[in-house]
C-alpha cells in the first residue's frame, strides 16, 4: 500500500523529537501519569469534540469506478423442480472527495489519550460502463473509529501527536446492486441499494492547541487502510463468495486506501 512521503516524514520527525524531549526531561517525570511530566500543560481530562472532515475512501486501489462483483446463487432442487438463481451484480464505485463531520468522545492522562469517534460524509458515486457510459448516484461514507494518541512537547499549549487505531467503515450507495437474468447482455430485473463494509487501520499525525483544560483546537491527517469483506446489496454476501469483473477465478478482498483531513475543537467535561 502506498503512503504519502510527506506524511511519513512528518511522523518520523515527531517521533524523534518526542523521544529527544523525553530523554532530556527524565528527571521531571510525574509518577501519577506514565510518561507524563510535572510541568505538563494538560494532566488529565475527559472531553467531547466536533470536527469537520475532508474524506475519501480510496486513492489508488479498487474503488476506481470500473470494477464490479458478481454472485451467482447457482441451482437448487426442491420438490423435484430445479431452480436457477439469478446473478447479483454489485458495482464498486469511485467517490468524490467531500466535506463531512465527526463527533469525538475521549479521555486523556498525561501524554496518552483514547478516543471513540463517528465520521460521516456524503458523496457522489460514479461507475463507468463500456461505451463509455457514466452512471452516478448518491453515496454516504461512515465510520466508527477507536484511536489511541501519543502527545509530545506536553509542557506547552501547542502539542503535536500521533495516533493509531482501528476503524469500522461502511459505504452506502443508492441503486448500485442489481439482480440480472442470464441473457447476453443481461437484463436488469431489480435494483437495490448496496452497503460495502469492513475493518480498517488508522495511522495519523496532528496538532492540538489547548487554551486550558476545557477547550482545544485540533487538526490532522489520518490515513485509513481498509479491507472490505461484506457487501449487503440484493443479498448479504461475503466477498469470498463473489468474483471480480465476470472472472470466476478472481475471488478475493476489496481494499481501500483513503487520506482524511480534519479540523475541529474539543470541550472538557467533568
**Rounded Cα–Cα distance for residues 136 and 98 (Å):** 15
Report whether pLDDT(40) > 60: yes
Give the side-chain half-sphere CA count within 13 A for 201. Answer: 6
SS3 of residue 242 by DSSP? coil
Please name the residue that has the C-alpha cell 469500522.
Answer: 168
Mean per-residue pLDDT for 207-231? Answer: 93
Give the helix/strand (H/E) hosting 12. helix 5-24
Residue 19's φ and ψ, nearest 5 degrees, are -65, -45
Q: Is the pLDDT of residue 152 over 80?
A: yes
- How much is the pLDDT for 35? 60
Q: How many other C-beta atoms are found inside a 10 Å radius of the C-beta of residue 263?
A: 13
Q: Report percent pLDDT > 70 for the chain.
A: 74
C-alpha cell at 267: 470541550
Reading the block at residue 63, the C-alpha cell is: 474503488
What is the pLDDT averaged over residues 81-102? 81
Work out the pLDDT band at 135, boundaries 50, 70, 90.
confident
CA distance 245 to 225: 23
Please state the rounded mean pLDDT for residues 232-240.
75
Predicted pLDDT at 158: 96
Please give the Cα distance from 38 to 9 (Å, whole number): 30
pLDDT band at 68 (very low <50, low <70, confident <90, very high): confident
pLDDT value of residue 87: 78
The residue-averaged pLDDT of 174-189 equals: 76
CA–CA separation, 201 and 257 (whole Å): 10
pLDDT at position 181 is: 72
pLDDT value at position 163? 97
pLDDT level of residue 3 (50, 70, 90 thresholds): very low
Beta strand residue intervals within 130-180, DSSP E: 133-151, 158-180
pLDDT tens for 219-229 read 999 999 999 88
Q: List 221's β-bridge partners, or say none.
A: 205, 261
Side-chain-facing half-sphere of 220: CA atoms under 13 Å: 25
Residue written as grid cell 494538560: 42
pLDDT of residue 82: 46
CB-CB neighbours of 174 under 10 Å: 15
- Domains detected in the chain: 5-269 (2.40.160.20)
Q: For residue 75, what pLDDT band results from cuts at 50, 70 and 90?
A: very low
Q: Give residue 125's pLDDT band: very low, low, confident or very high (50, 70, 90).
A: very high
Amino acid at each position: 500500500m502506498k503512503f504519502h512521503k510527506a506524511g511519513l516524514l512528518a511522523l518520523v520527525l515527531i517521533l524523534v523529537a518526542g523521544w529527544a524531549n523525553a530523554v532530556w526531561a527524565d528527571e521531571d517525570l510525574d509518577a501519577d501519569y506514565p510518561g507524563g511530566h510535572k510541568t505538563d500543560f494538560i494532566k488529565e481530562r475527559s472531553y467531547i469534540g466536533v470536527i469537520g472532515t475532508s474524506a475519501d475512501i480510496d486513492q489508488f486501489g479498487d474503488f476506481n469506478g470500473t470494477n464490479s462483483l458478481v454472485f451467482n446463487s447457482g441451482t437448487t432442487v426442491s420438490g423435484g423442480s430445479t431452480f436457477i438463481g439469478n446473478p447479483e451484480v454489485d458495482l464498486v464505485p469511485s467517490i468524490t472527495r467531500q466535506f463531512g463531520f465527526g463527533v469525538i468522545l475521549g479521555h486523556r492522562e498525561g501524554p496518552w489519550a483514547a478516543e471513540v469517534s463517528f465520521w460521516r460524509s456524503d458523496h457522489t458515486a460514479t461507475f463507468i460502463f463500456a461505451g463509455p457510459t457514466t452512471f452516478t448516484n448518491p453515496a454516504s461514507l461512515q465510520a466508527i473509529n477507536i484511536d489511541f494518541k501519543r502527545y509530545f512537547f506536553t509542557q506547552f499549549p501547542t502539542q503535536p501527536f500521533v495516533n493509531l487505531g482501528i476503524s469500522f467503515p461502511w459505504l452506502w450507495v443508492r441503486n448500485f446492486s442489481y439482480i440480472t437474468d442470464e441473457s447476453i447482455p443481461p437484463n436488469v430485473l431489480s435494483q437495490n441499494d448496496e452497503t460495502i463494509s469492513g475493518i480498517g487501520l488508522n495511522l495519523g499525525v496532528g496538532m492540538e492547541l489547548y487554551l486550558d483544560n476545557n477547550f482545544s483546537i485540533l487538526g490532522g491527517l489520518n490515513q485509513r487502510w481498509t479491507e472490505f469483506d461484506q457487501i449487503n446489496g440484493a443479498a448479504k454476501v461475503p466477498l469470498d463468495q463473489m468474483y471480480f469483473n465476470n472472472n470466476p477465478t478472481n475471488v478475493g478482498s476489496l481494499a481501500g486506501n483513503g487520506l482524511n483531513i480534519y479540523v475541529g475543537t474539543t470541550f472538557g467535561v467533568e
